[in-house]
Amino acid sequence: MKKFIIFTLLFSLAIVGFSVEKGKIEVPLRFDRYYSYDEVNEALKVLNKAFPELTKLEVLGQSEEGRDIYALTINNPKTGDELSKPGVYVDGNIHGNEIQAGEVCLYYANMLLTKYGENEKVTKAVDKNSHYIIPVVNVDGRFHFFEDGNTPSSNRSIRVAKDDDGDGLFDEDAPDDLDGDGSICQMRIKDPFGRYKIDSEDKRILVPVKPGEKGEYSMLGYEGIDNDNDGRINEDAEGYLDPNRNWGFNWMPPYVQRGAGNFPLSGVGLKAIDDYISDRPNIIIGYAFHNTGGMWLRVPAEKSTGIAASDIAAYDVIGKEAEKITPGYVYKPAYDLYPTYGDFDSHLFFIHGIYSFVGELFMRSQETYTVKKEGPKEDELESFMRGTRTERSREQLKFNDNVAQGELYKDWKKFEHPVYGEIEIGGWVKMSSRLPHPFMLPDLVHRNASVVFLSALQTPEISIDVFEVKEIGKNLQQVRVRLQNAKGLPSMSAYSVSSKLYPQDMLTVSGGKVVAGGKISDKRLNKVNYKEKKPEIQFLSVPSYGVVEYQFLIEGKGEITFNYESQKAKNINTSVKL
């Protein structure tokens, strides 16, 4: 098969097509193009070389076909070790065809590094947080999406062979790029008894015939031949092991959910990523970017699971702002889309205690070709989405013809098929439909990376303050300490606390004998829930935009130190002299 030319958009006085030779990758990275698997890796290496003091690049594991999975850490060591800070995790391209998800990850890394020291907010986010970025989860899928003929939706799977048609052979009858253009398009054949006829406005579109009407065409599916001579075409493509159904939480076997695999984390690359995350318990917020729909999805992914109201409130701090940053996107629980099991976002939240979002990126409704209406009339995009399938197809083709210069759609051409005889091949190419044209890419990656950036700024910022010292007896002091979180994400999720996923935050007292200590429930009435044993150690979490206060009765004089320790918030301390 011929290799598909990677599309790149060149801007000059006018838009001039987007198939050019690959250029040298330099900092700052370009985002008016798509990067192949090898180019993503090269881009990460270039960033690492340009910013060695802020970055660490490592191979965390390999895929089923032996390709490296790269992770880039961004951290300023001058402001602390990476594990001592709230961690922000970002990945993309968990499905092989979802390539713009990888570009969002690259853009986020490029933005943090190139604007560090110049933009005050960016500098703060790099100094405050550790950022862990894996642009390509399904490295084999991304590689084959670029290198092989594909539809916009194919090559999603992890490359684990599966006998889809039960004939004892594995992955032997995938679609075929019959005309060698790098895309797997549709096949149609003239047929007077077919179910379709040519649309009256656009001959590229087929519309269903009405009862009693004579047909003109039958659809034959995607390009392909009967590779295994079993009388069927395209019935056994690569896989199918869905990398977003193979994680540990609430995993269900394939008879419940297609693509689940034989057991959780059977994907070797997924297991390597899970180990990577496990080694970084400071991660408090995580993003997995997918490719289409315009949605911000939070847990739970299956309605019966449920999460605490305080955790939903913490999600809302990000999700409701995300809708404003990415106009048209919808923020909602994942089960509102459809229930899933063994999904990555649930694994992050319920196994690792990480607030997690799925970002579904491109909205095809943005491919518009219409006159903007004045006044309080219905939104053009809403009208477009409510139109018939044929009306939407006409609009999309006009967008292709007049905005994308015909690069998203292949006109129907005759082809001699070895089984069907003379057919026609045409339709949407692989770099379309679920993917924005490159001229739309800069806005998409910037807005979605801005949501991740918002999350970084909302990771917990805990302050500690001794706000009252009072002598209440001979050599006995009453000391009150306040822990305050200035940001929207709590130091621990309510689920992590109730399920004991990992140790709670600790407030410890040293330098004196603590006679009693506990959480203040009413400081005006001096109501304190004193801890029965080891009062010098208090276990806690600090809520979103919240305050917790503790009271200690301490014997003796001298310097008393209060230490706050947290897995997902920065450790701090303060002292007072008694």
| DSSP assignment of 535-563 | TTEEEE---TT-EEEEEEEEES-SEEEEE
**Mean pLDDT across the stretch 106-120?**
98
Distance CA 354, CA 344 (A): 11
| DSSP structural state of residue 84 | G
Contact 135, 105 (CB under 8 A): yes
- Domain boundary assignment for the chain: 37-147+240-362+439-457, 186-237+365-428, 462-577
Q: Is 470 helix (H, G, I), strand (E, B) or coil?
A: strand
pLDDT grade for 387, boundaries at 50, 70 and 90? low
Query: Residue 239: what pLDDT?
Result: 86
Tell me which of 2.40.170.20, 3.40.630.10, 3.40.50.720, 3.40.710.10 is the CATH number of domain 37-147+240-362+439-457.
Answer: 3.40.630.10
Cα of 296 vs its chain's centroid, Å: 9
What is the percentage of the chain residues whose pLDDT exceeds 70?
94
* Residue 172 binned pLDDT confidence (cut-offs 50, 70, 90): confident
Whether the CB-CB separation of 284 and 460 falls below 8 Å is answered with: yes
Does residue 38 contact residue 21 with C-beta atoms inside 8 Å? no
Residue 29 has pLDDT above 50, yes or no: yes
Element spanning 99, H or E: helix 99-115
pLDDT tens digits, 295-323:
999 999 999 999 999 999 999 999 999 99
Distance CA 103, CA 151 (A): 20
- Which ranges constitute the DSSP H helices of 378-508? 380-386, 389-402, 441-457, 494-499
Q: Per the structure block, which two tokens stand in for 382?
A: 């809403």
Report which of residues 75 and 4 the model is more confident about: 75
pLDDT greater than 90 at residue 576: yes
3-state secondary structure of 146: helix
Instruction: For residue 22, name the pLDDT band (cuts at 50, 70, 90).
Output: low
**First-last CA distance in the chain:** 80
Over residues 207-234, the mean pLDDT reads: 94
Tokens of 261: 């695999």
116: which DSSP letter? T
pLDDT at 6 over 50: no
d(CA 250, CA 265): 12
pLDDT at 388: 81
For 283, list phi and psi in degrees, rounded to 5.
Answer: -65, 125
Closest CA to 499 of 308, 314, 357, 283: 308
Mean pLDDT of the chain: 93
- Identify the residue whose tokens are 């903007």: 372
CA distance 32 to 11: 9
Query: What per-residue confidence (pLDDT) applies to 376?
Result: 52
**H-helix or E-strand containing 143?**
helix 139-147
Residue type, 56: K
Average pLDDT of the segment spanning 119-145: 98
Per-residue pLDDT, 380: 45
Question: What is the longest distance spanned by two Cα atoms in the chain?
Answer: 104
Reference 491, options 168, 85, 58, 46; nearest CA is: 85
CA atoms within 13 A on the CB side of 155: 25
pLDDT the model gives residue 129: 98
Q: Which position has the token pair 């999603």? A: 156
Do residues 62 and 272 lie in contact, with contact meaning Cβ atoms separated by under 8 Å? Answer: yes
How far apart (Å, rounded) are the C-alpha atoms in residues 474 and 558?
A: 15
Of 149-153, 234-238, 326-330, 431-435, minimum mean pLDDT range: 234-238
Q: Across the strands, what pairs with 357?
A: 287, 298
Q: Which is higher by pLDDT, 9 or 472?
A: 472
H or E stretch including 463?
Answer: strand 462-473
Other beta carbons within 10 Å of 248? 18
Among candidate residues 150, 65, 179, the one with its CA nearest the CA of residue 411: 179
CA distance 119 to 326: 22
- 140: enclosing H helix or E strand: helix 139-147
* Closest among 269, 223, 265, 273 to 246, alpha carbons compared: 265
Beta strands in 162-234 (DSSP E): 186-190, 196-198, 206-208, 217-222
**DSSP strands (E only) in 315-461:** 330-333, 355-360, 409-417, 421-428
Residue that wins the pLDDT comparison between 224 and 372? 224
Does the pLDDT of residue 91 top 90, yes or no? yes
What are the pLDDT digits (tens) for 431-456? 999 999 999 999 999 999 999 999 99
Q: How far is Cα 53 from Cα 74, in angstroms, rounded to an integer?
A: 9
* Better pLDDT: 235 or 116: 116
Per-residue pLDDT tens over the stretch 473-531: 888 999 999 999 999 999 999 999 999 999 999 999 999 999 999 999 999 999 999 99
Residue 373 has pLDDT above 80, yes or no: no
Give yes or no for residue 418 having a pLDDT over 70.
yes
Residue 152 confidence class, pLDDT cut points 50, 70, 90: very high
Q: Domain 462-577 is in which class?
A: mainly beta
